Chain A
Amino acid sequence: MKLETLDVGGVPVEIRTEGSGPPLLYLHAEQYVEQAEPYLEALAKRWTVIAPRHPGYGATPVPADFRSVDDLAYLYLDLLDRLGHEHVVLVGASFGGWIALEMCVRNHARMSKLVLVSSVGVKFSGREERDFADLFYLPDIEAFPLLFADPKRYAPDYASMSAAQLEGLARERQMLAHYGWRPYLHNPGLKRWLHRVDLPTLVLWGEADGFARPAYGRSLASALPAAQFTLVPEAGHYPEIEQPDAVIRAIDAFIAK
């Protein structure tokens, strides 16, 4: 595993590169980034996994002029140009899936396939409904059962975490608010341009996701030109944490097709 901080167009980006094989760019979810590490290690058995930390999440600060998901999309398009990879498999988890969609409506020339795991970012419902449960309104005791199929096993246990880990969680929530507070976890203009995401796409969804329900995932898959929808049993909003093997099997099967 290689950890480095690359200068991408003047923005320092922490990047973890691991494994060998064809390139796979992995964009992490809005929170619990550390908990997805075993999944990345498993992915790296077959892929060269390139996993940047979104600015503001790890040791690198969020640039003062980064205000929306657009900025992250352009940052990672710049990163791909800089690395020079072709035929990249792009995998985005939740918030990372939103970034991946914003990248693909702009330019997916370097991508061969797209995998969206519980991706947020698009508004399908009416003005008096929400597509995503309001994480900023719910106490953990109500939010965790929406986020995890087995919250007892997978939800963070604050009492057992170090101060640095808890501060990491606090920063994740801060960045989530920074990019996703209003409009809530979506770009109102994105749905209009989803036809541009015309590359083979796998939309993976936790069967027990109560935060972004499978029905939303189906709407997303239907709105994309070349997407298939697959449910992952016994997983909530973070299948890569609860069912990493099933997620990797689904990705392998999709790529092999």
Chain B
Amino acid sequence: MKVWHFSELAYHPAWQELGPQLRNVVPSRLCDPRVAADLYHRYLDEWVLCDELGLNIMVNEHHATATCIDSVCTIPMAILARETKKARLLCLGMPIGNRFDAVRVAEEYSMLDVISRGRVEMGFVKGAPFEVTPANSNPADLMARFWEAHDLILKAMTTHDGPFNWEGRFYHYRQVNVWPRPYQQPHPPVWLTVNSPESAQVGGERGYVIGSLNTGYVRTPGIYAAYRKGAASQGRQVTPDRFAYMAMVGVGATPEEGYRRANHILDYSRTALRVGAQFAFPPGYQSAAATAQALRWPGYGSGVAMRTMQLRNGRQVDVTAATVDEFIDAGICFAGTPDMVFEQIKAFHDHVGGFGHLLMMGQGGHLTHEDTVDNLTLFSREVLPRLGDLGLSARAAAE
């Protein structure tokens, strides 16, 4: 199993001053650029450390929010392409339906792949619903734009005979000719994020790696099953390396220390959904049926979105106030001593039928630099060596 360290680069100093909304409406006067500079350097140091620890690196992006100041995903990717030597660099990812210049995306990914000497993993994401507002990206035709961007980016990265023409519905170029061409041939591996059986099935049909983010004990098996169904429809064999799962991970020398670290990281989960209902359900982003259901939520009209997660027994709990044990129960967090964390990962792994990538949120919320370094170090020393066997056993079982 490959493990990837991820952080959203939270600007947590602003969280205290804010009300129920951390996204889109927050004025940037609450961001002190000197504090932000310190945070960027600190978070980058933690990613660079992964290179020594045998961990890989994952970055993402969000906009207009104090929950994440990684607003341009290719900037940390570029720094890390130069500052690291071994780690693979996953961008999960680029919200290509919200990018109005798809050829530029192909250029950025190709250049990153060349500078890193072929270490880029290329994520294409729909983006969270609240992202359409800062991008002013029409949610009603987002997925049509996403797939046209996908087709154009891949064609741009794999065409090496000079310019080609593209006059589609959303993108118009008469002379597409991307330099440099990517280091990995024909192109870096493609990843998608999925949050439903429907999107997972499409991933399976295309054979891409899917990342399911915090989808938990109850929902993940159905998502992976849909991927396998999609793959089977195209005659594809599914190996565990097609599945990536994201969870918060807090490891400590004692159970208390691991829980304390997880509890800090989980402030990410407790704040990520502090977003207005109107931003959580932009028109056409979800199906009419899903939006209709959201309208029934009592808080919808006053702008409070649904913020629950499901425990294994089916009970819904409020994410903004959930405990570490509840997050562990939900399959969103692995926490405790290295032994405890390994057992929790193994149990989840077996429950969902295996996955080849753990997207580990090893830093989040208020977790300090010292705690993060210790968390990552302890994980890489005590847990990582034992995870290799999990992937192999699942592969053997699949075969």
Question: Which residues of A pack against B, CB within 8 Å?
Answer: 67, 136-142, 144, 158-159, 161, 163, 166-167, 169-171, 173-178, 181-182
- The residues in B between 281 and 333 inclusive whose CB is less than 8 angstroms from any CB of A are 282-284, 288-289, 291-293, 295-296, 298, 300-303
Separation of A159 and B301 alpha carbons in the complex (Å) = 11
* Cβ contact within 8 Å between A169 and B295: yes
B140 at the interface (CB under 8 A from A): yes
Contact A138 to B292, CB < 8 A, known contacts A173-B283, A177-B283, A182-B136: no
Contact A174 to B288, CB < 8 A, known contacts A140-B300, A141-B303, A169-B295: yes
Complex contacts, A67 vs chain B, CB 8 Å: 169
**Residue among A136, A167, A174, A182 making CB contact with B278, cutoff 8 Å:** A136
**Residue among B133, B141, B298 making CB contact with A137, cutoff 8 Å:** B133
**Residue among B284, B293, B298 making CB contact with A173, cutoff 8 Å:** B284
Complex contacts, B140 vs chain A, CB 8 Å: 174-175, 177-178, 181
CB distance from B121 to the nearest CB of A (A): 32
**Residue among A158, A169, A175, A182 making CB contact with B301, cutoff 8 Å:** A158
Complex contacts, B277 vs chain A, CB 8 Å: 139
B184 at the interface (CB under 8 A from A): no
CB distance from A172 to the nearest CB of B (A): 8
Complex contacts, B276 vs chain A, CB 8 Å: 139
Separation of A169 and B296 alpha carbons in the complex (Å) = 12
* Cβ contact within 8 Å between B295 and A166: yes
Secondary structure dominating the interface of B:
helix
Separation of A100 and B165 alpha carbons in the complex (Å) = 37
CB distance from B30 to the nearest CB of A (A): 19
Contact A178 to B284, CB < 8 A, known contacts A167-B292, A169-B295: yes
Complex contacts, B298 vs chain A, CB 8 Å: 159
Residue with the greatest number of chain B CB neighbours at <10 A, chosen from A67, A171, A174, A178: A174
* Cβ contact within 8 Å between B292 and A170: yes
Separation of A137 and B130 alpha carbons in the complex (Å) = 10
**Residue among A137, A141, A170 making CB contact with B295, cutoff 8 Å:** A170
* Cβ contact within 8 Å between B292 and A166: yes
Complex contacts, A171 vs chain B, CB 8 Å: 288
Closest to A62 in B: B140
* Cβ contact within 8 Å between A139 and B303: yes
Question: Interface residue count for B (Cβ, 8 Å)?
Answer: 26
Question: Which residues of B pack against A, CB within 8 Å?
Answer: 24, 133, 136, 138-141, 169, 276-278, 282-284, 288-289, 291-293, 295-296, 298, 300-303
Contact A177 to B301, CB < 8 A, known contacts A137-B278, A139-B276, A139-B278: no
Complex contacts, B138 vs chain A, CB 8 Å: 177-178, 181-182
Closest to A179 in B: B140
Separation of A136 and B292 alpha carbons in the complex (Å) = 16
CB distance from B19 to the nearest CB of A (A): 13
Closest to B24 in A: A137
* Cβ contact within 8 Å between A140 and B301: yes
Q: Please, could you name 24 A-B residue pairs with CB atoms under 8 Å apart, sorted by A?
A: A137-B278, A139-B276, A139-B302, A140-B300, A141-B301, A158-B295, A158-B296, A158-B301, A166-B292, A166-B293, A166-B295, A166-B296, A167-B292, A171-B288, A173-B283, A173-B291, A177-B138, A177-B282, A177-B283, A178-B138, A178-B284, A181-B136, A181-B139, A181-B140
Complex contacts, A167 vs chain B, CB 8 Å: 288-289, 291-292
* Cβ contact within 8 Å between A170 and B283: yes
Complex contacts, B293 vs chain A, CB 8 Å: 166
CB distance from B177 to the nearest CB of A (A): 28
* Cβ contact within 8 Å between B139 and A177: yes
Closest to B21 in A: A139
CB distance from B42 to the nearest CB of A (A): 33
CB distance from B105 to the nearest CB of A (A): 20
Separation of A79 and B344 alpha carbons in the complex (Å) = 64
Closest to A174 in B: B284
Closest to A67 in B: B169
**Residue among B24, B141, B291 making CB contact with A178, cutoff 8 Å:** B141
Complex contacts, B141 vs chain A, CB 8 Å: 178
Separation of A136 and B24 alpha carbons in the complex (Å) = 12
Complex contacts, A182 vs chain B, CB 8 Å: 136, 138
Complex contacts, B284 vs chain A, CB 8 Å: 173-174, 177-178
